[in-house]
């Protein structure tokens, strides 16, 4: 995070928009003395200024109010139309002393204003004040983003936690019901995982789960497929726009990948396997998210019962028992 009280070679970037090269040079000369800025960008009109906003990471803008062709109010309107620029402070420079112009500028999104000719000390003070606010806003934004990430992440594996995974599942299943979109679901269980914890301890078990989670992350379509830790030694995967054939192919690929891998344990390595249950929608037998999960759960049960290290698909010809719920679901 940038700190305006500790000057470094990498400082802030300021954009100065004014049709007068003389005034731009004057502003740059004044602000160079502060040693706050590593880059000074200039634009002679709002259109050129907006291009700088698009192409550069700008911390603060000084913009003249009255310019030929397009005034400062137009610049504020263009800036506010792009959400990524809304938090960049803008100080308006104007030779007009009319109160209505100042009020309009502030209402249109300006952070502050200076009336020309301005006092150098006042210019520096106002720029510093708005940089301080921006530094605090940027820090708060990063903290909030981190808190959001922590709230949706499984601490051990770094994958989505169950709560967030279920939220995404609800949204994707709604697409199935509304638009008939294809969706497949994989329920993945680590075979005989308890023996790792019992033999080598829970730290070794945690290490194995992290490694398996990493393997399952390989090959996922970015921003499309969803992988989460379902609970304990179970993982779950959402595959949008994927039918049952595609789901079975991917499940078998992951099964083989885990089977061939070696996992670190105290004193060496060990082999592990996974069992996978697959379900796909839309399907006449699937009307709810609970049924969608249950079909995958039933398929996983068959994979376990038939010897483990297998991938099984749902059998929608036989509806799942009405009273039985998948492991972990509550009525």
Query: What per-residue confidence (pLDDT) applies to 104?
Result: 80
DSSP 247-265: HHHHHHHHHHHHHH--EEE
Query: What per-residue confidence (pLDDT) applies to 68?
Result: 78
Query: What per-residue confidence (pLDDT) applies to 331?
Result: 36
C-beta of residue 183 within 8 angstroms of C-beta of residue 173: yes
Query: What per-residue confidence (pLDDT) applies to 73?
Result: 84
68 — alpha (psi -120 to 50), left (phi > 0) or beta? Answer: beta
pTM > 0.75: yes or no: no
Question: Across residues 10-35, what is the average pLDDT?
Answer: 91
Going by pLDDT thresholds of 50, 70 and 90, the confidence category of residue 253 is very high
Measure the CA–CA gap between 318 and 328, rounded to whole angstroms.
22
**Does pLDDT of 329 surpass 70?**
no
pLDDT exceeding 90 applies to what percent of the chain?
73
Per-residue model confidence as pLDDT tens digits over 43-57:
998 889 999 999 999
Query: What per-residue confidence (pLDDT) applies to 256?
Result: 97
Measure the CA–CA gap between 4 and 131, rounded to whole angstroms.
7
Question: Across residues 120-138, what is the average pLDDT?
Answer: 93
C-beta of residue 287 within 8 angstroms of C-beta of residue 294: no
Query: What per-residue confidence (pLDDT) applies to 325?
Result: 52
CATH number of 162-313: 3.30.70.270
Beta partners for 264?
A: 269
Indicate which residues carry an active-site annotation: 233
Measure the CA–CA gap between 226 and 238, rounded to whole angstroms.
5
CATH class of 12-150: alpha beta
What residue spans define the domains of the chain? 12-150, 162-313
Per-residue model confidence as pLDDT tens digits over 274-315:
999 999 999 999 999 999 999 999 999 999 999 999 999 998
């Amino acid at each position: 995070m940038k700190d305006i009280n500790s000057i470094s070679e990498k400082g802030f970037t300021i954009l100065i928009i004014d049709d007068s090269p003389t005034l731009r040079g004057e502003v740059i000369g004044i602000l160079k003395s502060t040693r706050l800025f590593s880059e000074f960008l200039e634009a002679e009109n709002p259109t050129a200024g907006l291009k700088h906003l698009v192409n550069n990471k700008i911390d603060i803008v000084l913009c003249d109010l009255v310019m030929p062709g397009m005034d400062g109010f137009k610049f504020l309107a263009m800036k506010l139309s792009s959400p990524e620029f809304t938090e960049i402070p803008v100080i308006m420079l104007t030779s007009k002393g009319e109160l209505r112009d100042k009020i309009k500028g502030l209402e249109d999104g300006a952070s502050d204003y200076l009336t020309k000719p301005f006092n150098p000390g006042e210019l520096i003070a106002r720029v510093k004040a708005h940089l301080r606010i921006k530094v605090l806003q940027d820090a708060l934004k990063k903290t909030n983003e981190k808190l959001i990430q922590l709230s949706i992440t499984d601490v051990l594996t770094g994958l989505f936690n169950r709560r967030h995974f279920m939220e995404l599942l609800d949204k994707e299943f709604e697409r199935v019901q509304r638009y008939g979109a294809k969706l497949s679901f994989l329920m993945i269980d680590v075979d005989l995982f308890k023996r790792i914890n019992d033999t080598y301890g829970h730290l070794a078990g945690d290490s194995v789960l992290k490694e398996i989670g990493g393997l399952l992350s390989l090959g996922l379509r970015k921003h499309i497929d969803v992988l989460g830790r379902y609970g304990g030694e179970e993982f779950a995967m959402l595959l949008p726009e994927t039918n049952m054939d595609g789901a079975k192919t991917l499940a078998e690929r992951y099964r083989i990948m885990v089977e061939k891998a070696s996992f670190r344990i105290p004193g060496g390595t060990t082999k592990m396997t996974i069992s996978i249950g697959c379900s796909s929608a839309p399907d006449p037998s699937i009307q709810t998210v609970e049924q969608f999960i249950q079909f995958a759960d039933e398929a996983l049960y068959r994979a376990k019962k038939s010897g483990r290290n297998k991938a099984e698909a749902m059998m929608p010809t036989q509806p799942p028992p009405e009273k039985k719920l998948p492991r972990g679901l509550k009525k």
